[in-house]
């Protein structure tokens, strides 16, 4: 199970890049509609993004999976998506309901339009698969060497070519199997709809429970972008913006929780803090509550109590499910482009059904959350922020975190890098909306207390190599700063990893020409040995190495343990390819 979570972790992260476009799409679409600014240009621009979500997902997922986010992976994802969708249309059967008495040209146009609408219900899944192919093929084939007379098509140029071939296979799968695929989607969609309030309750409950692993993004996409159909618009979000009066069932229930419930939890945790600590944590709780109210970003709040009080988090998950059921039972239909915050509520007020009911429902949820949290914290003596033992470091002030500095005065990226065990302990560094998503060498080298002192709200270890650090909306910026700190200067390898590598698994390995050149030439090399996914290389002069060339060759991180030796960290597949 841990291996599955480690494999799926990059997908949850990669999905956030195209999803981040939705607020812009929703804003443009709504502002351009007749009940607001009535500007056709804005409405058309927003609709263009919603109409091409599959293409956006192919680009975003490919970027997230490519080891260095190179544009060749994005191009490969686009090529695969276009080949798959257009090829599938050719292989699809003629949709029923088209009048055969139409003229030849009219019949052909009607068939093309019907097939485009039919394939549209699968555009996001096809886009995700195309992105997976583009990103993973980039990691596998970007170093491909072809005979000299075909050398122009080698390396990164080979990736879109082979992705196009994969797109043909995907086109055959989708085109020839479209009818059973569509029938299966309809069956699941109707089955969930048939459950009524129970189905909505389960959706809300599972959504919050999956938050722990970060896989709720994968789960949400089925309901928000695939299930349901309204005049060619598929998924709850796209149907809502297309004007479907029944859309919003899988979004509305989040509004009472995110705008009222979790801010009330922040108030309860603040009032439960020790009197002498309230001033220290008050700014943090106010910031978290305001973020939840305005934008619907809630993870920093949830991780404040998720591991301290699992029962409390379970109650929160149940209350979310109940909110999904209650708002649907009251006939409320609200929608969002990003999340269930005040910004989306106000922007989409004119398209919503019975939106004013959110106020009384929200006030009830505010009271319930405040009462439950206040009682549980005091009754169970939960160590929520402000109630920790005296020797526990308090989180860094929000202002310092936002400014990119830490209490010691170092750069924020460097401070997080040190707390994570140095560059030699990091294999992959990326982020989603609120959390760093990392692949590391050794969990023992991570200083969790130091991470929390820097402002982390929680740490999750989905597997023996995967690590997630909950930071809030600044997560993506921090991930960039960490990568910049890694490039600025190699940090020491963590002691645990160094001892393990030196003690076992050493294999002599001749270095490929690309690494020899990047390491300063053959005259600069004394020897090299492989330890798992790491190379230890002894050099005459470490100053002669070409760091950008090493990165281009697939090196994820560079560490030093002694004056004349360096450690090059790779993804295992990349190192296997170089050794072949």
Residues designated as active site = 432
- Give the total residue count for the chain: 580
The Cβ-side half-sphere exposure at 465, using a 13 Å CA radius, reads: 17
Neighbours of 145 (CB within 10 A): 12
Three-state SS at 566? strand
Contact 462, 438 (CB under 8 A): no
Q: How far apart are CA 313 and CA 333, in angstroms?
A: 26
Which element (helix H / strand E) includes 186?
A: helix 178-194
Three-state SS at 523? helix
Residues 6+ apart with CB under 8 A from 446: 419, 420, 421, 425, 440, 459, 467
Q: How far apart are CA 511 and CA 522, in angstroms?
A: 10
DSSP state letter for 226 = T
Tokens read off for 260? 């009222």
Residues 6+ apart with CB under 8 A from 387: 272, 273, 274, 277, 377, 381
Place of tokens 């709504």: 30
Q: How far apart are CA 401 and CA 391, in angstroms?
A: 21
Q: How far apart are CA 422 and CA 486, in angstroms?
A: 8
How distant, in Å, are the alpha carbons of 403, 435, 490, 491 from that of 477?
Answer: 11, 11, 20, 20
Which element (helix H / strand E) includes 230?
A: strand 229-230
Q: How far apart are CA 306 and CA 414, in angstroms?
A: 28
Q: How far apart are CA 509 and CA 528, in angstroms?
A: 6
Three-state SS at 547? helix
Contact 54, 127 (CB under 8 A): yes
Place of tokens 């990736």: 159
Contact 486, 416 (CB under 8 A): no
Tokens read off for 384? 């929520």
Contact 554, 574 (CB under 8 A): yes
Neighbours of 428 (CB within 10 A): 18
């Amino acid at each position: 199970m841990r291996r599955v979570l480690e494999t799926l972790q990059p997908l949850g992260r990669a999905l956030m890049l195209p999803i981040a476009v939705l607020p812009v799409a929703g804003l443009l679409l709504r502002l351009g509609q007749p009940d607001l600014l009535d500007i056709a240009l804005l409405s058309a621009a927003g609709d263009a993004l919603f109409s091409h979500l599959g293409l956006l997902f192919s680009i975003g997922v490919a970027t997230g999976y490519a080891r260095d986010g190179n544009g060749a992976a994005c191009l490969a994802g686009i090529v695969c998506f276009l080949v798959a969708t257009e090829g599938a249309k050719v292989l699809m059967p003629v949709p029923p309901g088209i009048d055969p008495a139409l003229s030849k040209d009219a019949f052909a146009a009607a068939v093309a339009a019907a097939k485009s609408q039919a394939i549209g219900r699968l555009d996001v899944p096809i886009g995700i698969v195309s992105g997976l192919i583009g990103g993973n093929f980039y990691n596998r084939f970007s170093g491909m060497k072809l005979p000299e007379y075909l050398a122009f098509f080698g390396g990164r140029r080979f990736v879109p070519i082979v992705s196009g071939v994969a797109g043909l296979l995907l086109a055959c799968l989708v085109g020839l199997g479209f009818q059973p695929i569509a029938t299966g989607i309809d069956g699941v969609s109707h089955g969930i709809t048939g459950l009524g309030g129970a189905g909505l309750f389960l959706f809300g409950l599972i959504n919050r429970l999956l938050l722990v692993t970060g896989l709720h993004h994968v789960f949400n996409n089925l309901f928000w972008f695939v299930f349901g159909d309204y005049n060619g618009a598929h998924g709850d979000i796209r149907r809502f913006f297309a004007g479907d009066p029944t859309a919003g069932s899988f979004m509305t229930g989040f509004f009472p929780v995110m705008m009222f419930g979790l801010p009330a939890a922040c108030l309860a945790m603040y009032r439960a803090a020790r009197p002498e600590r309230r001033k220290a944590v008050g700014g943090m709780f106010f910031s978290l509550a305001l973020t939840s109210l305005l934008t619907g970003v809630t993870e920093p709040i949830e991780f404040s109590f998720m591991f301290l009080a699992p029962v409390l988090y379970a109650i929160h998950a149940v209350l979310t499910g109940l909110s999904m059921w209650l708002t649907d039972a009251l006939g409320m239909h609200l929608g969002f482009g990003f999340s269930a915050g005040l910004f989306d509520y106000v922007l989409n007020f004119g398209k919503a059904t019975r939106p004013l009911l959110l106020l009384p429902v929200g006030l009830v949820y505010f009271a319930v959350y405040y009462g439950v949290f206040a009682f549980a914290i005091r009754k169970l003596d939960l160590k929520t922020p402000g109630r920790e033992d005296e020797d526990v470091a308090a989180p860094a002030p929000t202002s310092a975190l936002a400014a990119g500095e830490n209490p010691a005065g170092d750069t924020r990226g460097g401070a997080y890098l040190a707390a994570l065990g140095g560059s030699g302990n990091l294999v992959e560094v990326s982020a989603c909306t609120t959390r760093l998503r990392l692949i590391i060498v050794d969990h023992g080298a991570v200083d969790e207390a130091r991470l929390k002192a820097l402002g982390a709200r929680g740490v999750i270890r989905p597997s023996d190599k995967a690590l997630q650090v909950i930071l809030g909306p600044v997560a993506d910026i921090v991930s960039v700063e960490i990568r910049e700190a890694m490039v600025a200067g190699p940090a020491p390898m963590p002691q645990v990893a160094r001892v393990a590598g030196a003690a076992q698994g050493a294999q002599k390995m001749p270095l490929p020409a690309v690494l020899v050149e990047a390491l300063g030439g053959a005259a600069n090399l004394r020897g090299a040995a492989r330890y798992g996914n790491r190379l230890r290389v002894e050099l005459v002069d470490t100053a002669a190495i070409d760091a950008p060339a090493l990165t281009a060759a697939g090196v994820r991180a560079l560490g030093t343990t002694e004056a004349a030796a360096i450690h090059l960290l790779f993804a295992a597949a990349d190192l296997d390819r170089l050794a072949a």
